[in-house]
Structures are given as C-alpha cells and as structure tokens.
Amino acid sequence: MYIHLKLVHEPWPGERFKRFFDHAWPLFRIWYLSEGEKARPDLITCRSVLELHMPELIPTYNSLCRIAENDDVASRFLSMWCPPPYLAGCSQVAWTRGNPTLVRNYDFDPRYFDGRLRFTEYCKPVIGVQDSAWGLLDGMNADGLAVSLAFGGRKTSGVGFGIPLVIRYVLETCSNVDEACVTLGRLPVHMGYNVTCIDKSGNYATVYMNPDRPPRVVYQAAATNHQHQVEWDEYAAFTHTIERKHLLEQCLADPKLTRAALLKQFLKPPLYSQQFMRGFGTLYTAAYDVAKGSVKVIWPDKQVEASFKKFEEQEVEVVLLRPVGRYLAK
C-alpha cells in the first residue's frame, strides 16, 4: 500500500486543478451522493450560505465551478455545505520553544487522500495539505499563522460546513490566533472538530467546534480526538485518543524535550498508527514552522520540505504498512 504526494504551486485555480478534479471527481461524486442526492442541499442554498459566511472565497468558488463546467452536483460539493459525515483520527500540538511550530499527524483512509501539498494565492499566500479538492487538512499562511484539524470524537452531525473549507477560510482571511478564534467562533460546522492554531508570536489555542453547541476556545497546546471528555467510548478506545493526548501533554511538560525529539514521538505508537485497512493509519506528519514560513512533511523513511521562499514542485511516493524505520528528519 502506498500514497503519492505532489507539491503544486498554482496561485489561482487553473489547468493543474482541472486535471486533478477531472480525475478525482467520480470518486468524490460517489462519496458526496452516498446518502442519496436529496440528502444534500440544493445549489441555491449552498451558494447563499457560502456568500453569507465566507464571501471572500466567492471569486475562487466561481472559478472552481467554471472548471467543473458548472455541473450542479459538483458545484454543491465544492461549497462543502452539509457534506456526508466522515471520521478521521489525528494528533496535533502547538510547539512554542524556539520557533513556534504546529506539528500534527493525519490519520485517515489512504484511498481518500487528495495527495496534494498546494501553494495557492487566492486571498493571500497559503501552503497546506489539500482535502475535498480545495479545502485544507492543515496549513499556514504568509502572515505566520498555522492551523490544523482533528476529529472531535462525537457522533453528532448537523447543519454546517465541512471542516476542510473552514481551515482554508481561516488561513485565507486571518493573520493571527486571535483573529482565527473569532472567525472559528462564527462559522457553522457539520460535525465536531478540534482546531489548533499557532502564530509566529507564539500565541496558540484550540477551538472545540460542534454543530449542536457553541464553540469553546481552550488554551491547550495539544489536541487529539476528544474534547472536554470522551463522548464516544468505542471510538476513543479504537483510536487511543486518551493515550495520545496524555503522551503529548507529557512531552510538553518535559523541559528538556527538543522539537526534533517531539517529531520522533509522532513517528512512533501511539501517535503513529498503521491501521490503514481500518481507515485510521497515519498518512503523514507535518511540521509548520511559522517563523520561517516553512513546512516539513515527514514519514518514517523520508521527508519533503517547502516554504514560501522556496517551493519546488515534485512528487514523492510513500510506501505504507511496513515497519517504522529510522527517523531521517533533522
């Protein structure tokens, strides 16, 4: 089993986005309509809520819809309004010793990985790992803000945006953690998520977002897949969310721990998972150094690095499901 990651610099949606979308759309469509077409909101609703909550993204959205030939279902999908529910894993921590850095593992089914690290310039320069065609799983902007998501560990779903577009919007419109928390506090989401933010000044926060209760800002540097307490026992046991959170808190409390040592922990159990066949394997580790404006995407046996100053387009193949090897990052 393997994945590919392509590094793509395309300031505005164009030919490379079209090639990706033409290839990926059949699978996206099956997923988006998995509960039936009537379960998804109509296009008028999708566009109106995007205009209401994220007006800055409308020019980009319009371009994406044109690339999708203004197909009704594709345009609804691209709004990310009320998508089908889905689950992921993830561990993340805001590191403040030395250069402020957001470190995270993304745990999910490799079959549904977009496989793109994109450098875009829609509203401002943003680098991040793509999901759902133009949303982001994590990323940073040129102002020195980094954001990532983790599933909140609750069964509840409701009316709101898919979280990848929320991450995209925050990075396109916010410059620091305070602004990000205000924005996250007003955006509706369709499931529970933990969103961790850090900026170049070293400020950080995690926002617990839910469709059925108000958002809560907690000044915690670490987040896994539960919020104030475990609310889904079976999921918590399967994903080891308590154990992962405890380990991250231990790391943060160790005054001798370095960032390099922290990254090593992300490549070992319990933070690193090989449950790929069950949809919760670690697809990558990302470390966003917001002071430098650089990111490392790391696996047990290789890594790639990119920044706003030096972004080299390339493609890497990563073999999954093999013993964790020697850590190569420095």
Separation of CA 219 from chain center: 20
Element spanning 198, H or E: strand 193-199
Instruction: Output the pLDDT for position 326.
Output: 39
CB atoms within 10 A of CB 107: 27
- List the chain domain ranges: 2-79, 91-319
Buried-state track 286-319, b at ≥16 Cβ within 10 A, e below 16: bbbbbebbbbbbbbbeebbbbbbeebeeeebebe
Tokens 């059925």, residue located:
212
Instruction: Output the pLDDT for position 322.
Output: 59
Write the single-letter amino acid at 244. Answer: R
Contact 215, 188 (CB under 8 A): no
List per-residue pLDDT tens for the chain, 330 residues long: 889 999 999 999 999 999 999 999 999 999 999 999 999 999 999 999 999 999 999 999 999 999 999 999 999 999 999 999 988 889 999 999 999 999 999 999 999 999 999 999 999 999 999 999 999 999 999 999 999 999 999 999 999 999 999 999 999 999 999 999 999 999 999 999 999 999 999 999 999 999 999 999 999 999 999 999 999 999 999 999 999 999 999 999 999 999 999 999 999 999 999 999 888 899 999 999 999 999 999 999 999 999 999 999 999 999 987 544 433 332
Q: For residue 243, what are the CA distances in angstroms to 124, 136, 236, 269, 286?
A: 37, 26, 9, 10, 20
Contact 188, 142 (CB under 8 A): no
Contact 230, 242 (CB under 8 A): yes
Element spanning 286, H or E: strand 280-289
Going by DSSP bridges, is the β-strand pair 193-199/204-209 parallel, antiparallel, or unpaired? Answer: antiparallel
Please tell me the distance from the alpha carbon of residue 115 to that of residue 36, in angstroms, as a whole number.
Answer: 27
Residues 6+ apart with CB under 8 A from 89: 105, 106, 107, 108, 150, 151, 225, 239, 273, 280, 282
Question: CA gyration radius for the chain?
Answer: 18
Helical packing angle, 58-67 and 15-32, nearest 10°:
80
Q: For residue 139, report the phi and psi dihedrals to the nearest 5 degrees.
A: 175, 180
Query: How many Cα atoms within 13 Å fall on the side-chain side of residue 136?
Result: 24
Q: For residue 264, what are the CA distances in angstroms to 164, 243, 293?
A: 27, 17, 21
Instruction: Output the pLDDT for position 88.
Output: 84
Please tell me the distance from the alpha carbon of residue 115 to that of residue 108, in angstroms, as a whole number.
Answer: 12
Buried-state track 207-233, b at ≥16 Cβ within 10 A, e below 16: bbbbbeeebebeebbbbbbbbeeeebe
Element spanning 49, H or E: helix 43-53
The answer, as to whether pTM is greater than 0.85, is yes
- Fold for domain 91-319? Penicillin V Acylase; Chain A (3.60.60)
Contact 117, 5 (CB under 8 A): yes
